[in-house]
Amino acid sequence: MLRQGLPRLSRRSLLEMTGLGFGRLALEGILQAQTPRIPQDLKPRQPHFPPAAKAIIQLVHNGGPSQMDLFDPKPMLAKMAGKPHPDGVEIHQPNNANVLLPSPFQFQHYGQSGMEMAEILPEIGKMADELCLIRSMYTEHNNHPEGLNMLHTCKIFPGRPVLGAWVSYALGSVNQNLPGYVVLRDPEGYPVSGKQLWSNGYLPALYQGVEFSSSGVPVFNLSPADPLPPGAQKTSLDYLQQLNRKHQREHPGEFELEARIQNYELAARMQLAATDVLDLSKETEATRKLYGLDNPQTASFGMRCLMARKLVEAGVRFVQIFPGVGQPWDTHSKLKTDLPNICAKTDLPSAGLIRDLKSRGLLDSTIVMWAGEFGRLPTTQNSDGRDHNRNAFSLFMAGGGFRRGFTYGETDDFGYKATVNRVSVPNLQATILRLLGIDHRKLTFPHAGRDETPTDATVTGAEVVKDLIAGGATA
């Protein structure tokens, strides 16, 4: 009845509503020099390739986790402890000494694969056979905000859409009652760079990360500050829709009006869905334990990890989690105590998440990414810490089509610079997108006269790292 008498749809409206022909759209934009047609909804869309993964959970361990103390053992550091780095290292901040600092932590072999990691990540260690550990990451800048921009947008300056926004734009959402891209930050406060790390940049605002709070009201404006009596909201919305339908009848052919009417219905459904999915009371004791909810040290991060699993289960494409306020991994000093501290907060929940996904059969279709924005120097700062290092860092991926129990790339003897099988951030993003079924060169958005892509391969040289994909090049 609604559509009765609707006029012939314009091409734009049709495409916007149906979200069809999306891959072709951007291309047409290039060829026809027309204002491109941009999908403005979260309807699920077909990727370019059959996807290995349907969702991704990004654990953003910002601050610069120290690779030689966590993932990349460097015995030479111990052998040359206290001696200067022979070629000197790049430094930009005070209180650095060009003196090699051995790791205070022991490394051990984990799992069948014998992956080497530090003793302070025992739980992640137990999941070694699920991990794809990359030791040869490098980035462009030694400063946190630039490094974080790089990690999320492939460029060091702000303003570009982050990976999550691109994924949301490309794929929409499977669950029409929830946003496609959800952010779970520490309820105590924001990480450095804050909302920029889930910014839609120049993409429509629809694709930005939506903050769900793990305490209190889950979503901004999801419900009014003062609760309404039962039935009040429904009565209001019914009345509003009557007004809107009448207005729409007077303006046939305006497709946006219909979209807006539906948005109110979606918003109302979202209130229920979000409340429902974030209700952890039905989780078993075993599950709660798996995420460390029974331990005050791990409970906060564990809660977010568990929420992430529930959101992915409910069809959310992209979940981004932050471990704490500010930059928890930024160990400029007191490495020996501070690093085990943050590990203790995050190790068990991170491992729990991977284990839980696996046992529920979700790990194959869900990428888990554990990453900071850069690494740290092999030399001392403030005598017992390490300064930033853009030339090498380590991170790991799990599930969603990444190789398992696999270690990739090498750094030099001191872990200062990635040397073998170097992986740039844009290359990693291209690979993640590939596993989600997206061709990083073909996903475009017109901005300021240029067709932008998530990796801007023409400038960054981004390419898929096939070595990281299970089954290799043919995946």
Partner 1 sequence: MKAPWLFAVAATLAAQPRFEKDILPIFTANCFACHGGRSMVGLDLRTGSSALRGSDQGPVIVKGDASGSLLYQKISQRLMPPPAFNLKLTDPEIETVKRWIDAGSPSDEAESAARRWKEQAARFDKEALPILKARCFQCHAGDKPMAGLDLRTLESLLRGSANGPVIEEGVADKSILVRRITNKSMPPPGAGSPVTEDELRALRRWIDTTSFPVLTTRKERTSFTKAEAPDYAEKDRLWWAFQKPVKKPVPAVHARQRVRTPIDAFALSALETKGLSLSPDASPQTWIRRAYLDLTGLPPSPKELEEYLADKGPGANQRVIDKLLDSPHYAERWGRSWLDVAGYSDAAGFDNCFPVVEVYEGMWRYRDYVINAFRQDKPFDRFLVEQLAGDELYDWRNAKTYTPEMRDALIATGYLRSIYDRTDADIVNLVNERYDVLFDLMEKVSTGLLGITVNCARCHSHKFDPIAQRDYYRLQAVFLPAFNPMNWKQPKNRWLPDVAKQEEEEIKAHNAEIDRQIADLRKQVDRIRKPYEDKLLEAKLGNIPEPIRAETRTALKTAADSRNEVQKFLASKFEKQLKVAPEELDKAMTTDHRSFTHKLDEQIQTFTAYKRTFGKIQALWDVGPPPVSRLLQRGAVESPGPKVTPGVPGVLSSSNGDLQRPAETPEGSTGLRLAFAKWLTSRDNPLTARVFVNRVWQQHFGRGIVETLENFGRMGATPSNQGLLDWLAVDFMEHGWSVKRLHKLIMTSSVYLQSSAYREDAANIDPENKLLWRRDLMRLDAESVRDSILAASGKLDRTVGGSPIILKVRPDGLQELVADEQHPNPNFRRSLYILSRRNYPHQFLQVFDFPTIQINCVRRSRSATPLQSLALMNDEFVLEEARYLADRVRSASDPIEQAYLLTLARRPDREERNLATEHIRKQTAIYLLANATPDTARTKAMASFCQMLLSSNEFLYID
Binding residue for partner 1 (CB under 8 A) from 1, 4, 50, 251?
Answer: 251
Closest approach of partner 1 to the CB of residue 258, in Å: 10
Query: Where in 425-454 is the site for partner 1 (CB under 8 A)?
Result: 427, 448-450
* Residue 461 structure tokens: 């040289």
- Torsions phi, psi for 83 (to 5 deg): -90, 160
Binding of partner 1 at residue 108 (CB under 8 A)?
no
3-state DSSP helix/strand/coil percent for the chain, to nearest 5? 40, 15, 45
Closest approach of partner 1 to the CB of residue 72, in Å: 17
Binding residue for partner 1 (CB under 8 A) from 267, 276, 359, 360?
Answer: 267
Closest approach of partner 1 to the CB of residue 30, in Å: 8
Binding residue for partner 1 (CB under 8 A) from 82, 86, 114, 252?
Answer: 252
Binding residue for partner 1 (CB under 8 A) from 78, 112, 239, 276?
Answer: 239
Cβ-based neighbours of 347, under 8 Å, separated by 6 or more: 120, 121, 122, 123, 124
Structure letter (DSSP) for residue 145: H
Cβ contact 410:418 at 8 Å: yes
CA 161 to mean position of chain CA atoms: 12
Binding residue for partner 1 (CB under 8 A) from 1, 3, 106, 225?
Answer: 225
CA distance 394 to 335: 17
Query: Where in 183-202 is the site for partner 1 (CB under 8 A)?
Result: 189-190, 192-196, 199, 201-202
Closest approach of partner 1 to the CB of residue 289, in Å: 30
**Contact region with partner 1 (CB under 8 A), list: 53-61, 238-246, 328-336, 369-377:** 238-246
Closest approach of partner 1 to the CB of residue 406, in Å: 17
Q: How many residues does the chain have?
A: 475
Binding of partner 1 at residue 275 (CB under 8 A)?
no
Binding of partner 1 at residue 282 (CB under 8 A)?
no
**Mind giving me the DSSP string for 291-340?**
TTTTSHHHHHHHHHHHHHHHHHHTT-SEEEE--SSB-TT--SS-HHHHHH
Binding residue for partner 1 (CB under 8 A) from 75, 82, 114, 224?
Answer: 224
Neighbour-count burial of 363, counting CB atoms closer than 10 A to its CB (0-12 exposed, 13-18 middle, 19+ buried): buried
Binding of partner 1 at residue 210 (CB under 8 A)?
yes
Binding of partner 1 at residue 455 (CB under 8 A)?
no
Helix H or strand E segment including 366: strand 366-371
Binding of partner 1 at residue 82 (CB under 8 A)?
no
Binding of partner 1 at residue 90 (CB under 8 A)?
yes
Binding of partner 1 at residue 91 (CB under 8 A)?
yes
Pick the closer one to partner 1 by CB: 220 or 286: 220
* Residue 412 structure tokens: 């030099």
Query: Where in 12-31 is the site for partner 1 (CB under 8 A)?
Result: 12, 30
Q: Which of 433, 212, 415 is nearest to 311 (CA)?
A: 212
Pick the closer one to partner 1 by CB: 46 or 223: 223
CA distance 259 to 281: 35
* Residue 404 structure tokens: 């398992």
* Residue 112 structure tokens: 């069948």
CA distance 136 to 236: 57
Binding of partner 1 at residue 378 (CB under 8 A)?
no
Residue ranges with strand state E in 89-240: 96-100, 107-110, 115-118, 131-138, 181-184, 210-211
**Contact region with partner 1 (CB under 8 A), list: 52-60, 127-135, 221-229, 353-361:** 221-229
**Contact region with partner 1 (CB under 8 A), list: 56-64, 121-129, 263-271, 292-300:** 263-271
Closest approach of partner 1 to the CB of residue 424, in Å: 5
* Amino acid symbol at 127: M
Binding of partner 1 at residue 10 (CB under 8 A)?
yes
